[in-house]
């Protein structure tokens, strides 16, 4: 095959599709615009210059577009990461913050290689729903300050922006409605001279590209010990948000993504961001929903262009971007909130049919995230709650029935269910140690032994009968259960 034919064979199909190009380019532009005020706001949370957050959003988006595992997902500076590293910056300075970002990236690469993404399968659907709903609430809550103590003109501008985004797609979907809304509201406020808060009021935009360099810290063991806890916390929070967002995009687009590659890609992006003086970041569900759900983007091009447009808008069109009214961006984010929230999950019809435990897990996830503003706390809390509820439910499924032989010399106890630490402990009280005959058979053909606690309980049952001079025969173990029982029986001292 000729080089030209090889090139055409390896080239993605969307590269030659003008419609896809238009969608991806316009989606990237909308996201780039929306990233600017958020990056500045997160910089304030972290206590750094706005340029630090904008540089992070640029390098994160561009790098993840190349190395990430989920197409069309947006990564940039985020509030969750800002909250984690803000104390380090406040107490020790920017140099240590940058060092923590680089080390967090290294941790993420290592965790990705070790397969931490596989833990995603242990996160139940109710936690995912709670995750999505809580993020929608947080994004909306972040818009509230922009509508408090502001000129009255802000409110009709927000309403006009929402109306345009609702009705413009009925006219055409060739141009994203959020981009039209932003452009029209900016033109109206400038032409009419309406004095409302603008992007420029959030902070000065950078006038040049970031320059690579090393963090200004002593390269000693003391520095490593100081930044490591912050870096590890940032790595975990960033990975959790990114992997949860990637799973959400998988569901929306009916496509699969490599969570391992995404984990490693997030790490590489944070390492690059740190060397370019950024504050680090992870996937952003709000901007991702603008890109995927509102604008219809599906490729890496939109992610890459979001970062590129961000810098171009700041450096080349800084004065114009500074005049964009915050009301226009607030309207976009409110629309994202409504589009992202799973309204079906709180419909009365759904709640009547849903098991109480599932509803409890969803509520705990939402409340934990909204109260702490920490997605990791909500996801972990919800997942632990789901596991406890599941363990309690399964624990009651272990049943015991006793059948005595007609001659009265043997009793057979048939155990059915899953035997693990929560269910096995109840077995001890289900046997008649004093009243049973001299021979006891424990039939486990309808059960499965999962852990050492179960083996210890079986040993305890045998010991209690042995104290009375009676013998116990355990039968029916399947292969995995028999292997575990053989390896551990008699070895669990102190049971």
Whole-angstrom Cα distance, residue 281 to residue 435?
66
pLDDT in tens, 271-315: 999 999 999 999 988 889 889 988 889 999 999 999 999 999 999
* Residue length of the chain: 495
Helix (H) or strand (E) holding 447: strand 439-449
List, in sequence order, every residue forming a beta bridge with 446; answer none if it has no partner. 416
Residue 228: per-residue pLDDT: 94
pLDDT of residue 1 exceeding 70: no
Residue 399: per-residue pLDDT: 81
Whole-angstrom Cα distance, residue 487 to residue 489?
6
More confident residue, 163 or 47: 163
Asked whether the beta carbons of 264 and 109 are under 8 A apart, the reply is yes
Residue 80: per-residue pLDDT: 76
pLDDT in tens, 40-72: 878 877 878 888 999 999 999 999 999 999 999
> Which range is most confident: 6-15, 38-47, 90-99, 364-373?
90-99
Whole-angstrom Cα distance, residue 278 to residue 2?
43
Whole-angstrom Cα distance, residue 43 to residue 53?
5
End-to-end alpha-carbon separation of the chain, Å?
70
Whole-angstrom Cα distance, residue 199 to residue 45?
17
pLDDT in tens, 85-122: 888 998 999 999 999 999 999 999 999 999 888 877 77
More confident residue, 402 or 10: 402
Residue 47: per-residue pLDDT: 79
* Three-state secondary-structure class, residue 288: helix
Helix (H) or strand (E) holding 265: helix 259-275
pLDDT of residue 379 exceeding 70: yes
List, in sequence order, every residue forming a beta bridge with 441; answer none if it has no partner. 412, 473
Compute, in degrees rounded to 10, the torsion defined by CA atoms 135, 136, 137, 141: 100
Asked whether the beta carbons of 461 and 431 are under 8 A apart, the reply is yes
pLDDT in tens, 250-269: 988 889 999 999 999 999 99
Residue 285 makes CB contacts below 8 A (sequence gap 6+) with 132, 135, 139, 241, 245, 248, 340
Whole-angstrom Cα distance, residue 425 to residue 419?
9
Residue 12: per-residue pLDDT: 62
Max Cα–Cα distance, the chain, nearest Å: 102
pLDDT of residue 125 exceeding 90: no
The mean of the pLDDT values for the chain is 87
pLDDT of residue 493 exceeding 70: no
The DSSP secondary structure of 383-426, one letter per residue, reads HHHHHHHHHHHHHTT-EEEEEE-TTSSEEEEEEEEEESHHHHGG
Residue 11: per-residue pLDDT: 58
Residue 58 makes CB contacts below 8 A (sequence gap 6+) with 210, 278, 307, 308, 310, 311
Cβ-in-10-Å burial (0-12, 13-18, 19+) of 78 comes to buried
| Interior angle at CA 378, CA 374 and CA 381, nearest 5 | 135
Q: E strands along 451-491, which residues?
A: 471-475
Whole-angstrom Cα distance, residue 81 to residue 126?
24
Count of CB atoms situated within 10 Å of the CB of 299: 21
Whole-angstrom Cα distance, residue 303 to residue 59?
11
Whole-angstrom Cα distance, residue 309 to residue 134?
29
Residue 495: per-residue pLDDT: 42
What is the band of 362 on the pLDDT scale with cuts at 50, 70, 90? very high
Mean pLDDT score, 345-365: 88
């Amino acid at each position: 095959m000729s080089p030209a034919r090889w090139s055409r064979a390896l080239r993605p199909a969307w590269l030659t599709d003008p419609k896809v190009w238009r969608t991806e380019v316009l989606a990237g532009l909308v996201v780039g615009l929306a990233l600017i005020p958020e990056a500045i706001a997160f910089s304030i949370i972290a206590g750094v210059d706005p340029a630090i957050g904008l540089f992070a959003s640029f390098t994160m988006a561009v790098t993840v577009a190349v190395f990430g595992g989920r197409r069309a997902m947006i990564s940039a500076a985020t509030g969750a990461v800002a909250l984690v590293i803000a104390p380090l910056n406040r107490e020790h300075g920017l140099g240590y913050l940058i060092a923590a970002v680089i080390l967090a990236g290294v941790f993420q690469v290592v965790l990705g290689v070790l397969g931490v993404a596989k833990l995603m399968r242990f996160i139940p659907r109710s936690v995912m729903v709670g995750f999505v709903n809580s993020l929608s609430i947080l994004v909306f809550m972040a818009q509230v300050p922009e509508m408090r103590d502001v000129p009255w003109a802000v409110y009709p501008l927000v309403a006009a922006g929402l109306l345009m985004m609702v009705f413009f797609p009925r006219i055409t979907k060739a141009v994203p409605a959020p981009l039209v809304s932003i452009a029209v509201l900016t033109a109206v406020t400038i032409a009419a001279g309406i004095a409302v808060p603008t992007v420029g009021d959030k902070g000065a935009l950078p006038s040049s590209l970031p320059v690579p360099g090393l963090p200004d810290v002593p390269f000693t063991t003391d520095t490593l010990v100081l930044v490591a806890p912050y870096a590890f916390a940032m790595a975990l929070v960033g990975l959790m948000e990114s992997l949860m967002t990637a799973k959400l995009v998988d569901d929306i687009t009916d496509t699969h993504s490599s969570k391992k590659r995404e984990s490693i890609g997030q790490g590489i992006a944070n390492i690059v961001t740190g060397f370019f003086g950024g504050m680090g970041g992870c996937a952003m569900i709000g901007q991702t929903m603008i890109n995927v759900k509102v604008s219809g983007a599906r490729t890496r091009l939109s992610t890459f262009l979001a970062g590129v447009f961000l810098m171009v808008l700041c450096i080349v069109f800084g004065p114009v971007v500074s005049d964009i009214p915050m009301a226009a961006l607030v309207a976009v984010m409110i629309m994202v909130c409504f589009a992202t929230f799973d309204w079906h999950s709180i419909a009365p019809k759904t709640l009547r049919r849903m098991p109480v435990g599932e509803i409890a897990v969803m509520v705990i996830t939402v409340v934990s995230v909204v109260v702490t503003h920490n997605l990791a706390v909500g996801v972990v809390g919800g997942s632990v709650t789901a596991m406890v509820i599941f363990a309690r439910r399964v624990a009651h499924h272990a049943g015991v029935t006793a059948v005595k032989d007609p001659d009265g010399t043997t009793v057979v106890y048939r155990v059915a269910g899953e035997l693990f630490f929560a269910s096995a402990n109840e077995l001890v009280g289900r046997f008649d140690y004093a009243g049973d005959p001299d021979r006891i058979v424990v039939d486990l053909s309808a059960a499965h032994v999962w852990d050492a606690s179960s083996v210890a309980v079986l040993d305890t049952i045998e010991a209690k009968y042995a104290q009375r001079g009676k013998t116990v025969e355990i039968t029916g173990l399947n292969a995995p259960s028999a292997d575990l029982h053989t390896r551990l029986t008699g070895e669990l001292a102190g049971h």
